[in-house]
Chain A
Amino acid sequence: MYKTKEKIYEWIFMATAFSSLIFLLGIIIVLFNEGLPIFKDVGVFQFIFGSSWYPTHIPPEYGIFPVIIGSFVVTLGAMFIAVPLGMGSALYIYEMASEKQRNILKPVVELLGGIPSIIFGFFGMVIIAPFLQSVLKIPTGLCAFTGMVVLGIMAIPVVCSIAEDALSFVPRSYREASYALGGNRWQTLIRVVIPAAGSGISTAIILGVSRVIGETMTVLMVTGGAAMIPKSIFDPVRPMTSTIAAEMGEAAMGSPHYHSLFAIGLILFLITLVFNVIAEVISRKYRIKLGLDV
């Protein structure tokens, strides 16, 4: 009796543990199943590198290159903002902040990470876009640059908290050894602590990229949504996520347009998968290097 009870509990917990795997598999199957049919109508190369996206025009054109470029431009720009600010705050919180400051700063950074993306979208659309439009004298504030700024702000907490974790994982003995050899605080930080935490910091940056490239609501609201390859960062762009979000509601089920949106989702999924695998590999290496548990 006791044994069967034990077994039942074991099974229940095993089911919960494997539920994520089942959901993931389900999503992958659906993405492939619904995304692949588009390649019967359009070649893979033509789909990914085609330069015009007119899915509802007659005849339709399914080229997602401008959309992919849109995602990459915005993500790259956002990282130029998130990495210095996120890293800077991580270093300050770890190295210089007093106990009191740290107790305020850490929760504040986490709070920033908890704000729903639609609120960032509103903020970008109503405050930042009109502001940039009047200050920079650009034709429209809804452009790639605004997207970079808002997404950059959104990615700061991801970069900051993971980088800060990585820094605090560096064993105390490393720093003490550096001081013992006569290194000052700056030398210890730059030459010992940061290199030791290097892979953790790379993980922070890569996960920040994942966060930004998959963000949907904000980019839909602030980047303007023109499916073209931008000539400057002040041109409107249309990243992959907002293309799916904006068009899925009206695409007739089972039509090539519908399948092409799933195919964009599939490509986006593969991109974030690659980033996450890289992050995982790097962080494993780093734990081994520091002699921590793998």
Chain B
Amino acid sequence: MSTDKSAVNGHEPATGGVRVKRGLAEMLKGGVIMDVVNAEHAKIAEDAGAVAVMALERVPADIRREGGVARMSEVGLIKEIMAAVTIPVMAKARIGHFVEAQVLEALGIDYIDESEVLTPADEENHIDKWTFKVPFVCGCRDLGEALRRIGEGAAMIRTKGEAGTGNVVEAVRHMRAVLGGLRRLRALRPDELMSEAKRLGAPFELVREIHETGALPVVNFSAGGIATPADAALMMQLGADGNFVGSGIFKSDDPLGYAKAIVAATTYYDKPDVIAEVSAGLGPAMRGLDVASMPKEELLAARGW
């Protein structure tokens, strides 16, 4: 190796800054992040073209069915998953459980999902995400919730949807709410912004920033109920930057087939002929649940604020 060409090179690299934290999410855009519970699942996800995997204790459909307290995955399993794949590994921590997050950071996980799918550890406060070098993704149901999480330091947002149902209706509702909120904010007069910040329950500085840029300062994925290639493409056409898919893959009859098809449908979301082609012969999708008839206390999206 020849000698370094410059004196400035090699000094003071800055790790853990806002740009690198938000930046990894930028690199995942247009891709699919898949829930996995073990190394074998993680390998299937990587084989299928996932841009990242999400380690969790049980897929949401099982959490919903089995009940009990859902926590961060067991550390040994997380390590096995990290060793099994070359793509980024994310993992879920409970809302407000900053020590689970510290443990995940110590393990070298690439992104932490402070997730309503797990049982909340704090019903009042979310994690102060600015204090971590590792970036966080958080769920939201509307623009106000998205901006509260960004205000706490989230470097990526995903709409909550209703995890483990295989029903895309809540994902659609939440994506429309976030993007509709952005369009509304853009159209306001500057003297209406404080009132809008109050209405949204959102930090004023972020409200003003979005009024000017017209876009969230972080990447916004869809999540919670995506079960088919057409669901994935629907969320992309609505304006998602990418998709999280949980139970939809490993609760289907053909996980590898579904995973590959959902990856393709996320890239070619506006090409119905491609979506048709990749959907052919997949067999049954996961069995879905009717969200409207579910008791309110069973809704995961209502966790966190």
- The answer to whether A and B come from one shared complex is no
Query: Which A residues have a C-beta under 8 Å from some C-beta of B?
Result: none
